[in-house]
Structure 1
Amino acid sequence: MPQSISSMIRKPIVAGQFYEADFELLEKQLQRCFSHRKGAGGLPVKKRDRQVVAAVAPHAGYPFSGPCASWVYKAVGETKLPDVYVMLGVSHNGLPSAISIQDWQTPFGTVQTDKEFARAVEQNSNLKVDERPHRMEHSIEVQLPFLQFVNRDYLQNLRICPIIISEDIPFDEAARGIVKASKMTGKRILVIASSDFTHYGVSYGYTPFADNVKEKLYGLDKGAAELIAKLDAYRFLEYVDDKGATICGKHPVAAAVECAKLLGAKKGRLLQYYTSADLMGDYATAVGYAGIVFEKTADVKGEQ
């Protein structure tokens, strides 16, 4: 008898490419992300007294975006384990928004999806369960080893709700549905949006400037990050459209910003930003990576 969709496991598609496929090698790779000169400088401390309710993390290969992501996951790892991590991804293939109820496998093991919460999101929004957009999409998958790594003492209780957010559904309606599902089920959530920032270069079809590329690219992405930190999702999307900035996950980011506002955050904080060219030394092609967190408390801890 064939397995039902809900009982099947979503297998990794970029293990061995974006990150190591071997358990021990992946663990060492993640440790290097934290200790990297662009990384957070240390692993999460055991004391979980932060109140992160939402975040934005990059999703490129770990040698490139991993050090930036470490800043986000250090803050996540120092926050009390939520009942559900709501993982918001983008479809690089242009497929529609969709919830996944499959469990997700990584080299560290299988991450369970909270099916009750996922169905509550479906009930309270226009989002529907559909595994097809998730099958060949890496944006959520790349976040999961980081999530497991910083929650390694709590893996039995780790639950996720993977959702692709595309432009077919208004981001604010999706956000309201997610937060309504949290209230309906009584489950505390932490929302993580997966997105890289501007992709610059001929290969990306985006070369709005030819000189002072580093300074202009930094300025472009920092302008977007400032609007995100102000919890202004509408102006953020307007800014991206006006500038033509190639921020691939603008819709999941906007949804996460709206969730953060609904969950009680008053502002966000840019913890780290750099580009792939800062690591490679060639600005002919560059991708921006930003790590942003939203906390309930007035002061967001952590230094850039």
Structure 2
Amino acid sequence: MTRTAIVAGQFYESDKESLIQQIEECFMHQKGPGLPDKNNNKSKKIIGAICPHAGYLFSGPCQAHSYKAIAGSTQSELYLFIGLSHAGFNSSISQEDWETPLGIIKNHKEFGNQLSKNTNIPIDEVPHMNEHSIEVQIPFLQFIHKYNKHNQRDLKFSALIISHDRDYKEVSKAIAETIKQSNKKICIIASSDFTHYGVNYGYLPFTENKKENLHKLDNSAIAHILNIDPYGFLEYANEKKATICGKLAIATLLETCKLLGANKTELLSYYSSGDLTNDYDNSVGYASIIVEK
């Protein structure tokens, strides 16, 4: 079975050529990183990344920073996406291949089966069917894939939704174990936006100096991420009641990367939708962060 794209034409363009152009524009945007370099020496060893998942018109330029870095790193054999369920479903693993306007990406079913066994998280397609947090990452990965001239492998992925029905530390331990058992080079990508501020999101911790306070709120959370401190990050997010939708995905990525020997992080991009629209009454923060070993 193949999961078809459900937010093509909404979050990103629905036909191949228009989508390629849109992604290129994200890279070339004033807030983007520029197109990937095909001749990069690939010296970085990126084992994790945090990327936003809003519409490409808003978060795409930020998202592009992580994917340019991934394109310039040592090649991974498998990409593990960790998303969330905006609809409130429990944790689940998808075993289907996924289709976007850029083609079909193959699911690494053997890895997914072992991940399900080790985490005790069920294989269940229903939570993934109408969820966009992982889907919007796939076209960026497909796009940069063509820039890796050394890559002769089929592009493969695994998709995990993490929810409050699981302890992120236990899940992280099981993910790290599965990665070690697989003996593969794997990059983990956590999908999350940062603070959702405004009446539309039911979150109004301040009413003045909105831009400055929104950035301060997010940057304090990001500081914990850069220190590879999942516990401190969640403590801060919970204390502030921060509307960071994928906070469990972020915490799981950080804990897993720590177990895998991560020793370096880098904030590549941060801005809010208000920085693009100049409307901070309702604004969402976006960040691209990489984790290296």
TM bin, normalised by shorter chain, reads over 0.9
**Aligned partner of 1:17 among 10, 21, 46:** 10
1:126 aligns with 2:120: yes
Deviations 1:189-214 (A, max 9, x none): 10000000000000100011011000
**Aligned partner of 2:170 among 173, 193, 211:** 173
Distance across 1 between alignment mates of 2:14 and 2:96:
20
Distance across 2 between alignment mates of 1:128 and 1:50:
34
Q: Please report how far the alpha carbon of residue 185 of structure 1 lies from its aligned counterpart in structure 2 after TM superposition.
A: 2.0
**Aligned partner of 1:202 among 199, 215, 236:** 199
Where does residue 269 of structure 1 map in the other structure?
A: 266
Mapping 1:112-151, distance limit 5 Å: 112-151=106-145
**Aligned partner of 1:84 among 73, 78, 82:** 78
Q: Superposition RMSD on alpha carbons, in Å?
A: 1.1
In the alignment, residue 218 of structure 1 is paired with which amino acid? H
Q: Please report how far the alpha carbon of residue 68 of structure 1 lies from its aligned counterpart in structure 2 after TM superposition.
A: 0.2
Where does residue 31 of structure 1 map in the other structure?
A: 24
Mapping 1:1-304, distance limit 5 Å: 8-47=1-40, 48-152=42-146, 153=148, 154=151, 157-296=154-293
Q: Please report how far the alpha carbon of residue 126 of structure 1 lies from its aligned counterpart in structure 2 after TM superposition.
A: 2.3
Deviations 1:165-222 (A, max 9, x none): 1111111111111111112121221000000000000010001101100000000000
In the alignment, residue 90 of structure 1 is paired with which amino acid? L
Q: Following superposition, which runs of at least 4 residues in structure 1 exceed 4 angstroms of deviation? A: 153-156
What SS does structure 2 have at the residue aligned with 1:118? helix
Distance across 1 between alignment mates of 2:55 and 2:153:
27
8 A contact 2:77–2:153 mirrored in 1: no
Q: How many residues align?
A: 289
Distance across 1 between alignment mates of 2:44 and 2:153:
21
Where does residue 301 of structure 1 map in the other structure?
A: none
Structure 1, unpaired ranges of 5+: 1-7, 297-304
8 A contact 1:275–1:287 mirrored in 2: yes
Distance across 2 between alignment mates of 1:42 and 1:105:
24
Deviations 1:44-74 (A, max 9, x none): 4433222100010000000000000010000
Aligned-residue sequence identity (percent) comes to 48
What SS does structure 2 have at the residue aligned with 1:157? coil
8 A contact 2:36–2:72 mirrored in 1: no
8 A contact 1:56–1:192 mirrored in 2: yes
Of 215-224 and 261-270, the range deviating more from structure 2: 261-270
Structure 2, unpaired ranges of 5+: none
What SS does structure 2 have at the residue aligned with 1:116? helix
Q: Please report how far the alpha carbon of residue 136 of structure 1 lies from its aligned counterpart in structure 2 after TM superposition.
A: 0.6
Deviations 1:248-292 (A, max 9, x none): 000011001112112221132111000001101111110000000
Q: Please report how far the alpha carbon of residue 111 of structure 1 lies from its aligned counterpart in structure 2 after TM superposition.
A: 0.4
Q: Please report how far the alpha carbon of residue 103 of structure 1 lies from its aligned counterpart in structure 2 after TM superposition.
A: 0.3
Q: Please report how far the alpha carbon of residue 156 of structure 1 lies from its aligned counterpart in structure 2 after TM superposition.
A: 5.1
In the alignment, residue 239 of structure 2 is paired with which amino acid? D
Task: Return the TM-score normalized by structure 2.
Answer: 0.96
Task: Return the TM-score normalized by structure 1.
Answer: 0.93
